[in-house]
Structure formats: C-alpha cells, structure tokens
Amino acid sequence: MTTITLHPDFRIGPIDRRLFGSFVEHLGRCVYTGVYEPDHPTADEHGFRRDVADLADELGVTLVRYPGGNFVSNYVWEDAVGPVEQRRPFLDLAWRTIEPNTIGTDEFLQYCEREGLEPMMAVNLGTRGVAEAVALLDYCNGEGGTHWSDLRIANGREEPYGVKLWCLGNEMDGPWQIGHKTAEEYGRLAAETGKAMKLVDPTIELVACGSSSMYMDTFGAWERTVLSHTFDVVDHISMHAYYEELNGDRASFLGSGTAMDRFVERVVASADSIAAERRSDKRITISFDEWNVWYLESRFVGEKNLPIQRDAPRIIEDHYSGLDAVVVGDLMITLLNHVDRISIGCLAQLVNVIAPIMTEPGGAAWKQTTFHPFATAARLATGETLNLQVDAETITTERHGDVPAVTAAASVDPATGALALFVTNRTAHEQIVTLRHPGAGVRIDGGTAVLADHDGARETQEEAEAYGMVDALPAEHGDGTVSLRLAPESWTAFHGTLTT
Ligand code: AHR
C-alpha cells in the first residue's frame, strides 16, 4: 500500500523554467540534417528545419546548450564566424568527424532568438584557455569598440546577443576529453577564465564542470577541489548522468531516478562543505546539463574506433522503448524534487543523437517514446514543487540497493491553483496509491501515462509513432483522500487543482 501525503504549505521551491532545457552538439546528425538542413522541404530562409523547430516547441524546450559536449574541447569558434564560404573545415577529435563550420555561433544564437530559446554556451577549456573564452564572450556580448565585438558587427550583427549562461568547458574530469585535466589543473584554469569573463560581462552566470558521472573514480574529490578554486566566481556546478538497462537488469534501470537523487545529494553536500569551510551563505546550484537514457556501454562500443567521418554520420542514434520513456519520466521526478538546488537541466540531446526527436534527411521528423514524458512535464509542471511525503514499499536492486517502488513529485501554480502530480510505478503490478491532502482540497481532473512495453526499442519511424500516451486509470475522490491507480511499470502525470 502506497501513501502520498501532500500539504500545501510544504514546498521545495519555484521551478526554474531552465529546468526544461536541451542540448545541441556538433555530433553526428544533431546539427546537420537535424536542426539544420537547407535543402529540406520545410527549411526556413536560414536553412533550419521548420518541422524540427515545431517539434522542439511542442517538446517545451526552454534552453539549449551549445556547441558541446566533448566537441567543445577542441573547438576553434573563430573558424565558424564570418562569411560561410571563407570558413575552414576542421577535424573534430572528439568524434573524429570533419566539421564544415557551416553553422557557428551567429547561426546558433540567431536560431535561438527566432525560436524563443535561451542559449547556454560552452567555452573550450580543453585545448584553449582564458584569452579565447574572453574573446568569444566579447564577440557575443560586447557593445562594440573592441576587436571582437566589432567583428560581430562586421559579420552583420549589430546588437549584442546578451548570452547569460556559460559553461567553463565540458567534462574535464574525463580521460576521453581532449585536453583532459586533473581537478587541480582544471580548477585553476576555470577560476582564472571565470574571473576574466566576469570582468568582460559581470551579468553572466558561470557553470564549473563537475563530474561526468557519479561513477567516476575522482567523483567527490573532483567537486571539492574544483569548487575550492572556483567557489567565488562560479554560480553553478555541472552534473551529467546517463542511465541504461545493463544485462537485462530491469529493476536497477527502473530505479535510476533514485541513483540520480543520491548523485544530487552528494554534489550538494560537496558544494555546501566548501561554503561551510568559508563560512559563506552562498549556495552553488546545479546545472544538470546532460541527462538521459543512453545505451552507452551496451550499444556504443562499436562506434568508438570509427575511421574519420564526414557529412554528418549516423552515430549515437539510440532508439527508445516504452521502458525508456518511463525512466525518463522518473528522472524528471528527481529533477523536480530538487528544484531548490537544480537551476538548469538539459535533456541530452535534442535531435537524432540520443534524442526525443528523430529525422530523415530530406524526409520526416518524428517523436521518440521519450518525447512524451518530457513534453508532458514541461507543460504541466508550473509554479512551485511541493514537498511530498511518499510512503511506499522498497525494491532491492543490484546496482542501487533499496529503491522505492513508487516515486512522485507535485507542482502547484500559486496564481491559478493548477496542480500536477507525477508518479512512477516501478513494479510489474498495478499499484493503488492513496493521496492524502490535509489542509487543502484536491481535485484530480485526469491524467495521462507512458507505459513500459516489452517489445524492445522502437527502431523505425512507424514503430516510434505507434507509441503514445494513454489515459490514466480514473481517480476516485474520498474524504480528504484521492485513490489513484497506477498501471504496471508506468509514469503518470495527473492534473487537477489545489484549493486552500
Ligand atoms: O551527449 C553525448 C556526450 O556525452 C557529450 O559530448 C559528452 O559531454 C558526454 O560524455
């Protein structure tokens, strides 16, 4: 028997809309034939696919991180601005792909402006350093009268872009990273780069690289060392996490959200230990700028040692199942339950590469299974997250130990009373949940759910499009309680109202 207790006075905090971000990296077909394909029948006058932009809009994406990812760690941004015909292709070592540089900073930032997306830029701290980061920031945000801001103006863009969010490199703890660094080396470089960038534009927010995953050997020590150098200059620390079903261990995969919870709690503890040492009230928040289901260990292996690629190769194009959709929904529950410390989230990535949207060159764009829980949460989770008490049985998993069988998050919009309740059933049987709501009236008007299916990944467009959300089982209202029924292995989003 599972009980969820919802009290209107117990709140975690406001939901930063930047939680519903995504990520566009120059990787495989994310950019070329993903967001950008000038010969496509739906291409706009700038060469960007309208069908993809419309799906991104329906997905509810608010922010996009760019240009990487591993790609950024050997990127020469100067080669991708100015007249396109004069741009020099380069060999991107992260993905061993020849990058034509057709799309660069201006094209991306203007795309964001047209589509109403907030850009989040990353600077290269792998092969480059302070000077190039400062130059890029000045190019983007400078008012004119300097070499770099005048170059932007000469390239046709008078108004500064005013980019607010900047990542100081990407996954610098990873030995795979071009220009990989120790925590000490990276911490010093990030602190100096951040200091200089804030001298160019004090209004920006900076993200220091945290660990690439909780399972890195350096996890914990990395955060401590990096923040001991950067605490005063940065605003956020990054987290990255990808989950997959390994060796048929379905229970652990379904419990991924609990692993993500623990990861967040540990990073928060690390950041706050630095604050405590300094007797500081500053709270570093989290930019969870890469998260998703990714069959990294099980499917990616064969793609690691490819010969040099060109023309937007099909790499890391995972196809998702209903089970993957349930896990993505559950990971969103974790993000929502930590809005007091997570300011930014990026589902990695937006198109084709481990993405909710797939495309065919010259052809269709369609939704993967994982599109549905993200779009539903982005639409329904408004206002503030409530601090629920969830009492559920536990499941013992191989990878994460005991995890709750049912997880939940709820949001309420203080202006309208609109209530959303997101609930995952990690078990293979139906669950009856009693929602107790002392101190408030609750009306559940309906719900929609994603279900795990047992058919494996939906490989083709037809298979993916045959998958959709289903109506939730009807809620029954009692005196001070609502009885909810959850389908086996499902993620459900209920909507209704909260009255106090
Ligand atoms: O999102 C794919 C890759 O995963 C990114 O380039 C990198 O940052 C991470 O390891």
The DSSP annotation for 447-483 comes to EEEEE--SS----SHHHHHT---EEPPPPEE-SSEEE
> How high is the pLDDT of residue 306?
72
Give Dmax (Cα) for the chain.
71
Distance between CA atoms of 331 and 288, rounded to whole angstroms? 11
Distance between CA atoms of 463 and 86, rounded to whole angstroms? 43
The CA radius of gyration of the chain, in Å to the nearest whole number, is 22
- Whether the CB-CB separation of 383 and 413 falls below 8 Å is answered with yes
3-state secondary structure of 176: coil
Task: Parse the chain into domains and list their residue ranges.
Answer: 16-381, 386-499
3-state secondary structure of 497: strand
Q: Whose CA is nearest to atom 6 of ligand 1?
A: 69
* Atom nearest to 349 CA in ligand 1: 1
The answer to whether 290 is a known catalytic residue is yes
Q: State the distance from the centre of ligand 1 to the C-alpha of 86, rounded, in angstroms.
A: 29
* CATH match for 16-381 among 3.50.50.60, 3.20.20.80, 3.30.930.10, 3.30.420.40: 3.20.20.80
Q: Residue 341's beta-bridge partner residues? A: none
Q: What angle do CA 172, 164, 112 make, to 5 degrees?
A: 95
348 in ligand 1 pocket by Cβ < 6 Å?
A: yes
349 in ligand 1 pocket by Cβ < 6 Å?
A: yes
Q: What tokens does 173 get?
A: 């703890």
> Regarding beta strands 476-477 and 389-391, do their DSSP bridges make them parallel or antiparallel, or are they unpaired?
unpaired
Options 37, 223, 290, 489, the catalytic residue: 290
- Whether the CB-CB separation of 267 and 289 falls below 8 Å is answered with no
Q: What is the pLDDT along the chain (500 residues), one digit of tens a residue?
A: 899 999 999 999 999 999 999 999 999 999 999 999 999 999 999 999 999 999 999 999 999 999 999 999 999 999 999 999 999 999 999 999 999 999 999 999 999 999 999 999 999 999 999 999 999 999 999 999 999 999 999 999 999 999 999 999 999 999 999 999 999 999 999 999 999 999 999 999 999 999 999 999 999 999 999 999 999 999 999 999 999 999 999 999 999 999 999 999 999 999 999 999 999 999 999 999 999 999 988 766 545 567 888 889 999 999 999 999 999 999 999 999 999 999 999 999 999 999 999 999 999 999 999 999 999 999 999 999 999 999 999 999 999 999 999 999 999 999 999 999 999 999 999 999 999 999 899 999 999 999 998 788 899 999 999 999 999 999 999 999 999 999 999 999 999 999 99
Residue among 22, 66, 120, 171 to mutate when testing ligand 1 (max atoms within 8 A of CB) = 171
Tally of CB atoms within 10 A around 413: 17
Question: For tokens 């269709």, what's the residue?
Answer: 364
* Atom nearest to 316 CA in ligand 1: 2
- Whether the CB-CB separation of 68 and 122 falls below 8 Å is answered with yes
Torsion over CA: 253, 495, 472, 407 (sign): positive
Q: Who's near 135: CB < 8 A, 6+ residues apart?
A: 78, 148
> How high is the pLDDT of residue 341?
98
Distance between CA atoms of 296 and 103, rounded to whole angstroms? 27
Q: State the distance from the centre of ligand 1 to the C-alpha of 69, rounded, in angstroms.
A: 5
Options 171, 244, 245, 489, the catalytic residue: 171
> How high is the pLDDT of residue 303?
54
Residue among 30, 31, 66, 70 to mutate when testing ligand 1 (max atoms within 8 A of CB) = 70
Q: What tokens does 300 get?
A: 């990616």
Distance between CA atoms of 29 and 359, rounded to whole angstroms? 9
What class does CATH assign to 386-499? Answer: mainly beta
Is 0.85 surpassed by the pTM of this model?
yes
3-state secondary structure of 84: helix
The answer to whether 384 is a known catalytic residue is no
Q: State the distance from the centre of ligand 1 to the C-alpha of 453, rounded, in angstroms.
A: 27
Burial of residue 131 (CB within 10 Å: 0-12, 13-18, 19+) is exposed
* Atom nearest to 174 CA in ligand 1: 10
Q: Whose CA is nearest to atom 1 of ligand 1?
A: 348
Residue among 73, 170, 238 to mutate when testing ligand 1 (max atoms within 8 A of CB) = 170
> How high is the pLDDT of residue 122?
98
The DSSP annotation for 58-71 comes to: HHT--EEEES-SGG
368 in ligand 1 pocket by Cβ < 6 Å?
A: no
Q: Which helix (H) or strand (E) holds 346?
A: strand 342-348
Q: What tokens does 22 get?
A: 């995504």
Distance between CA atoms of 30 and 266, rounded to whole angstroms? 32
Cis bond leading into 349, ω under 30°? yes
Q: Whose CA is nearest to atom 2 of ligand 1?
A: 69
Distance between CA atoms of 306 and 321, rounded to whole angstroms? 26
How many residues belong to the chain?
A: 500
Please report how many Cα atoms fall inside a 13 Å half-sphere around the Cα of residue 153, on the Cβ side: 14
DSSP E strands: which ranges in 116-230? 118-123, 165-168, 205-208
For the chain, first and last CA: distance in Å?
27
Q: State the distance from the centre of ligand 1 to the C-alpha of 155, rounded, in angstroms.
A: 30
Distance between CA atoms of 224 and 230, rounded to whole angstroms? 10
Residue among 401, 411, 69 at smallest CA distance from 262: 401
Under DSSP, the state recorded for 142 is -
Q: State the distance from the centre of ligand 1 to the C-alpha of 271, rounded, in angstroms.
A: 23
The distance from CA 400 to its chain's CA centroid, rounded to whole angstroms, is 22
